[in-house]
Amino acid sequence: MTNNTTSKTAQLAAFASALRFEDIPEPVVRKIEDLLVDWFGSAVAGHGSRPVESITRFAQAMGAGEGPSEVIINRARTTPYLAAMANAAASHVAEQDDVHNGSVFHPATVVFPPAVAVAQALGASGQQLLAASVVGYEVGIRVGEFLGRSHYRVFHTTGTAGTLAAAAAVGHLLGLNAQQMQHALGSAGTQSAGLWEFLRTAADSKQLHTAHAAAAGLMSAYLAKDGFTGAAEILEGPQGMAVGMSSDADPSRLVDGLGTRWATAETSFKYHASCRHTHPAADALLHVMQTNGLKLDDLAQVVTHVHQGAIDVLGPVVQPTTVHQSKFSMGTVLALVAQHGHAGLTEFDRDFLSQQTQALRDKVSMVLDAEVDGAYPKRWIGKVTVTTTDGRVLHGRVDEPKGDPGNTLSRQEITDKALRLAAFSGGATPEAMRQSVDALWQVATWPKVGALLS
Amino acid sequence: MTNNTTSKTAQLAAFASALRFEDIPEPVVRKIEDLLVDWFGSAVAGHGSRPVESITRFAQAMGAGEGPSEVIINRARTTPYLAAMANAAASHVAEQDDVHNGSVFHPATVVFPPAVAVAQALGASGQQLLAASVVGYEVGIRVGEFLGRSHYRVFHTTGTAGTLAAAAAVGHLLGLNAQQMQHALGSAGTQSAGLWEFLRTAADSKQLHTAHAAAAGLMSAYLAKDGFTGAAEILEGPQGMAVGMSSDADPSRLVDGLGTRWATAETSFKYHASCRHTHPAADALLHVMQTNGLKLDDLAQVVTHVHQGAIDVLGPVVQPTTVHQSKFSMGTVLALVAQHGHAGLTEFDRDFLSQQTQALRDKVSMVLDAEVDGAYPKRWIGKVTVTTTDGRVLHGRVDEPKGDPGNTLSRQEITDKALRLAAFSGGATPEAMRQSVDALWQVATWPKVGALLS
């Protein structure tokens, strides 16, 4: 065993092991609370979704009928492993969970489900849950940044980096020391998986990716606690993740500002209920329409100026046939925004294939833009060129889409969003959801993490 | 949804769905029986192994305390998902399970654990188990061949292709139709994982890879049965496994001789208890020593002439510190063979660090050989050059190492090997193991698959 204690992976593991709640700056604590409540809404939103219910049925059939951890979509109880699996499947399906721009990684759906399930199993405090969640965010985001754009072209970073994020969060709750944490990351990285191929046929894999990441990451941490060892250099080693799954990995990102730069605080909330790659252009279109007083019928053509990642992910979706697929259709998203001023779950469900939506959808195109592509993924600039039916050519631009740190959601907006998500799915009554959200805002004072829905 | 029903993945799925026991030629049925009994010995051999016990503890803690499926190392019962996880971890640790040369893939450890666990859960017949197992072998081996040598340089093919093998075997038992089977392969492929990096620090990941493949593959098949969809072209698609995890994938291999060429029958048994990459050279050394009447003390230097894959996998292991790591040390394996005529579990445990072993180990080297490398992986030629202490230079060669189809094990040898493995681990008494093996040879007559160990 020749763990190199000064390697970047070792440094990342040491940070993940050692972070104390008291070390986390106050604004970052407030931010992780915001992210937790925002996530909770997305988890409840998974209720009734076919792929989510399917994974949940499997998890419950293969586990114990009881246990310390909560299955959020149906309030059953099971073991933390299977609860994490079910809740992670639930949290990503509404496409309303958070995103970190620089890593193109959705932390909440792979960090909170295992962290909450294990906190419930251990009777950990709210502060312990928050600290472990920050660890998951800091590790997962840095792994995503490390793996880079070449990775994201083929792999769903939330699934791949998410496995390590889940392991780090759970490992922190289990009190892993630095070496055990490095083993947990090794076991997580060697189970890291998730390919974008499913987009082409609108398959259900996105829910499987988050379920897999949460469950495999949790397992890695439990195994490490039990003495099970993993590769020391799973990220940077000559047969590790970077060599196998990336061609532009940047090791410096793994430890970039550890303990001083808080990646957690850089995380964005989603405002539109669609793939994040559509948001900058959607907000830019809104800006043009509001500034110029345009209505839907005024739009003859919309050219969106985008980064390559948007073309890679959204390009294959030309004529979406399911609601979920339509959230990856730039044309559909812009058509909904043009009609309603925003593209929420209700708008998608009702109008994703309406005649008006389809008409504008087919007038929207994407072109690669050097400025947007150069700024990405650190900044997600939105640029559109609109040609109106009376022949004007108008340009719209936003530098930070709604939900980004410089254009964030208030606690009231986060609460309202969570209530809307619960109402949409029927996963909780308005009263129960209100009560749970109110309680969850006080999580830092909880002596023990219990059920989130009573 | 645009499943291309004539794609190679679709053809593979259709084959996996449609194969009937009656379609399998008699010699292939006999071979899968041989492989099943051979696997059973390896599964029992996992008893008492630290990483195996660790994964089993996790599986049992996270599941139900009862269920229809057998945990072989401790005869507990649980759900098929968690039994498959535990038994797959158990079956690979002794490095005595089978291997298919052309794909460098170990089918038994990822096919039989999920197939047996699900057969027990469904009350399937012995013939159904055998047919499903053949499906797992045929699919997994072809996926391994498809992914190619570039994949194997970084990825542990048994973990990656194994996920699809497990899904196919379980899918067959669940009666998936062709389209459901294609969805199962899609879900399995997008969870496919396993990196060689763990070898560098002798970590426990190999057991995790097989556990992961069996469990994730089983889950994929159950989900498909429940209507959960996967990528249609997870293997060949532009964001699928080949693009993400290989640079020399050969799509023609996916359907090579489907239904006429039986890859199951090409599978080799392991004779030495070490990484298969060491076997050709070990047998070639034995041949030189027997032909020339050499003893250990006569060996001054041994140069092994090997394929690149052997250098990739064995090269990092210079001074092994654990028994498991020593099974990846060419020098250690040759030293044990030179002393004992074979390198079994007992020899490894007792002598892997003995002075005599270390002395010869350090006289063994590997060099890349064009002929051996060109024939690999279809044929595993063994070539050594021995310099004796009295100055002779002798050449040894074998064209098929012991256990290959042309130099196979008899049923008596398979039975004896299984009994030795059980005796070594203490996973079953000699009487119980004898009884179980005798019964297992009759599996084709079983109306229902029950516990393998009574």
> Quick count: other Cβ atoms within 10 Å of Cβ B172?
29
Facing residue for B231 by CB, picked from A61, A203, A223: A203
* Cβ(B113)–Cβ(B84) below 8 Å: yes
Per residue in A337-394, pLDDT tens? 999 988 988 899 999 999 999 999 999 999 999 999 999 988 999 999 999 999 999 9
Which pLDDT does position B377 carry in this prediction?
A: 86
Tally helices (H) and strands (E) across chain A.
Answer: 19, 6
Contacts of residue B127, Cβ cutoff 8 Å, sequence gap at least 6 = B21, B444
* Cβ(B96)–Cβ(B45) below 8 Å: yes
Share above pLDDT 90 across residues of chain A, in percent, rounded to a whole number: 92
Distance from CA of A137 to the nearest CA of B (A): 22
Per residue in A17-44, pLDDT tens? 999 999 999 999 999 999 999 999 999 9
Q: Read off φ and ψ for residue B400, nearest 5 degrees.
A: -140, 110
In one-letter notation, the amino acid at residue A2 is T
Nearest C-alpha in B relative to A216: B212
* Cβ(A313)–Cβ(A275) below 8 Å: yes
Which pLDDT does position B41 carry in this prediction?
A: 98
Distance from CA of A63 to the nearest CA of B (A): 4
Nearest C-alpha in B relative to A69: B62
Contacts of A159 in chain B (CB under 8 A): 190
Cβ burial of B431 (10 Å; 0-12, 13-18, 19+) is exposed
Q: Could you give the ipTM of this predicted complex?
A: 0.91
Which pLDDT does position B390 carry in this prediction?
A: 96
Q: What is the mean pLDDT of chain B?
A: 96
Look at residues A351, A176, A149 and name the one whose alpha carbon lies nearest to residue A253: A149
Contact B186 A199 (CB under 8 A): no
Q: What is the mean pLDDT of chain A?
A: 96
CA distance linking residue A336 with residue A358, whole number of Å: 10
Does A66 contact chain B (CB < 8 Å)? no
Contact B201 A241 (CB under 8 A): no
Sign of CA dihedral B152, B157, B161, B163: negative
Look at residues A402, A428, A426, A420 and name the one whose alpha carbon lies nearest to residue A346: A420
DSSP state of B362: T
* Cβ(B136)–Cβ(B117) below 8 Å: no
Q: Of A50-59, A131-140, B62-71, B218-227, which range is least confident? A: B62-71
Does B86 contact chain A (CB < 8 Å)? no
Mean pLDDT within B95-107: 94
Per residue in A386-411, pLDDT tens? 999 999 999 999 999 999 998 999 99
Mean pLDDT within A111-133: 98
Where does B276-402 sit in CATH, by number? Answer: 3.30.1330.120
CA distance linking residue A187 with residue B209, whole number of Å: 9
Per residue in A185-204, pLDDT tens? 999 999 999 999 999 999 99
Which pLDDT does position B5 carry in this prediction?
A: 54
CA distance linking residue A275 with residue A273, whole number of Å: 7
CA distance linking residue B96 with residue B204, whole number of Å: 17
Each residue of B342-376: b (16+ CB within 10 Å) or e? Answer: bbbbebbeebbbeeebbebbebbebeebeebbeeb
Which pLDDT does position A5 carry in this prediction?
A: 54
Mean pLDDT within A254-278: 95
* Cβ(A107)–Cβ(A227) below 8 Å: no
Q: Residue B3: is its pLDDT beyond 70?
A: no
Name beta bridge partners: A302: A364, A386
Contacts of B200 in chain A (CB under 8 A): 2, 231-233, 237-239
CA distance linking residue B401 with residue B380, whole number of Å: 7
Which pLDDT does position B334 carry in this prediction?
A: 97
User: What are the start-end ranges of the H helices in B155-256?
Assistant: 157-173, 178-189, 205-225, 241-245
Look at residues B73, B77, B81 and name the one whose alpha carbon lies nearest to residue B51: B73
The three-state (H, E, C) secondary structure of B329-354, written as one string: CHHHHHHHHHHHCCCCHHHHHHHCCC
CA distance linking residue A250 with residue A235, whole number of Å: 10
CA distance linking residue B124 with residue B128, whole number of Å: 6
CA atoms within 13 A on the CB side of B228: 30
Look at residues A287, A284, A322, A100 and name the one whose alpha carbon lies nearest to residue A198: A322
Which pLDDT does position A199 carry in this prediction?
A: 92
CA distance linking residue B26 with residue B35, whole number of Å: 14
Q: Residue B2: is its pLDDT beyond 80?
A: no
Share above pLDDT 70 across residues of chain A, in percent, rounded to a whole number: 99
* Cβ(B312)–Cβ(B368) below 8 Å: no
Distance from first CA to last CA of chain A, Å, rounded? 47
Contacts of A242 in chain B (CB under 8 A): none
* Cβ(B125)–Cβ(B118) below 8 Å: no
Contact A201 B81 (CB under 8 A): no
CA atoms within 13 A on the CB side of B295: 2
Facing residue for A205 by CB, picked from B195, B208, B230: B230
Does A2 contact chain B (CB < 8 Å)? yes
Question: Residue A7: which H helix or E strand, with range?
Answer: none
CA distance linking residue B397 with residue B385, whole number of Å: 9
> Quick count: other Cβ atoms within 10 Å of Cβ B21?
16
Nearest C-alpha in B relative to A237: B197
CA distance linking residue B298 with residue B339, whole number of Å: 11
* Cβ(A185)–Cβ(A204) below 8 Å: no
Peptide bond into B377 cis (omega under 30): yes
Q: Residue A2: is its pLDDT beyond 60?
A: no
Which pLDDT does position A1 carry in this prediction?
A: 39
Facing residue for A197 by CB, picked from B223, B228, B240: B240
Cα angle at B241 between B240 and B247, to 5 degrees? 110
Describe the crossing of helices A178-189 and B205-225 by its angle, rounded to 10 degrees: 50
Per-residue confidence at B342, pLDDT binned at 50, 70, 90? confident
Judged by DSSP in three states, A454 sits in coil
Q: Residue A332: is its pLDDT beyond 80?
A: yes
Judged by DSSP in three states, B386 sits in strand
Q: Residue ranges per domain, chain B? A: 8-266, 276-402
Contacts of A243 in chain B (CB under 8 A): 154
Per residue in B416-439, pLDDT tens? 999 999 999 999 999 999 999 999
Does B113 contact chain A (CB < 8 Å)? no
Per residue in B152-181, pLDDT tens? 999 999 999 999 999 999 999 999 999 999
Question: Residue A427: which H helix or E strand, with range?
Answer: none
In one-letter notation, the amino acid at residue A346 is T
Distance from first CA to last CA of chain B, Å, rounded? 47
Taking 3-state DSSP, the helix, strand and coil percentages for chain A, each rounded to the nearest 5, stand at 60, 10, 35
- Which residues between 327 and 356 in chain B have a beta carbon less than 8 angstroms from any beta carbon of chain A? none
Question: Residue A389: which H helix or E strand, with range?
Answer: none
Which pLDDT does position B65 carry in this prediction?
A: 80
Contact A192 B193 (CB under 8 A): yes
Contact B203 A230 (CB under 8 A): yes
Nearest C-alpha in A relative to B238: A197
Q: Residue A4: is its pLDDT beyond 80?
A: no
CA atoms within 13 A on the CB side of B182: 23
Contacts of residue A163, Cβ cutoff 8 Å, sequence gap at least 6 = A110, A188, A189, A191, A192, A193, A212, A213, A216, A217, A220
Which pLDDT does position B317 carry in this prediction?
A: 86
Does B223 contact chain A (CB < 8 Å)? yes
Contacts of A80 in chain B (CB under 8 A): 62
Sign of CA dihedral B273, B279, B285, B291: positive
CB pairs under 8 A between A and B: 217
Look at residues B194, B384, B174, B158 and name the one whose alpha carbon lies nearest to residue B276: B158
Mean pLDDT within B314-325: 90
The distance from CA B178 to its chain's CA centroid, rounded to whole angstroms, is: 26
CA distance readout (Å), A129 to A28, A75, A140, B241: 14, 20, 16, 36
CA distance linking residue A148 with residue A150, whole number of Å: 6
Look at residues A318, A274, A286, A294 and name the one whose alpha carbon lies nearest to residue A384: A286
Contacts of A214 in chain B (CB under 8 A): none
Contact A216 B212 (CB under 8 A): yes
Q: What is the per-residue DSSP string for A32-89? A: HHHHHHHHHHHHHHTTT-HHHHHHHHHHHHHS-S--SEEETTTTEEE-HHHHHHHHHH
- CA torsion, ordered A404, A406, A412, A417, to nearest 10 deg: -10
Mean pLDDT within B257-268: 97
Contacts of B155 in chain A (CB under 8 A): 244
CA distance linking residue B291 with residue B294, whole number of Å: 8
Does B454 contact chain A (CB < 8 Å)? no
Look at residues A228, A258, A267 and name the one whose alpha carbon lies nearest to residue A108: A267
Where does B8-266 sit in CATH, by number? Answer: 1.10.4100.10
Share above pLDDT 90 across residues of chain B, in percent, rounded to a whole number: 92
Cα angle at A381 between A378 and A386, to 5 degrees? 165
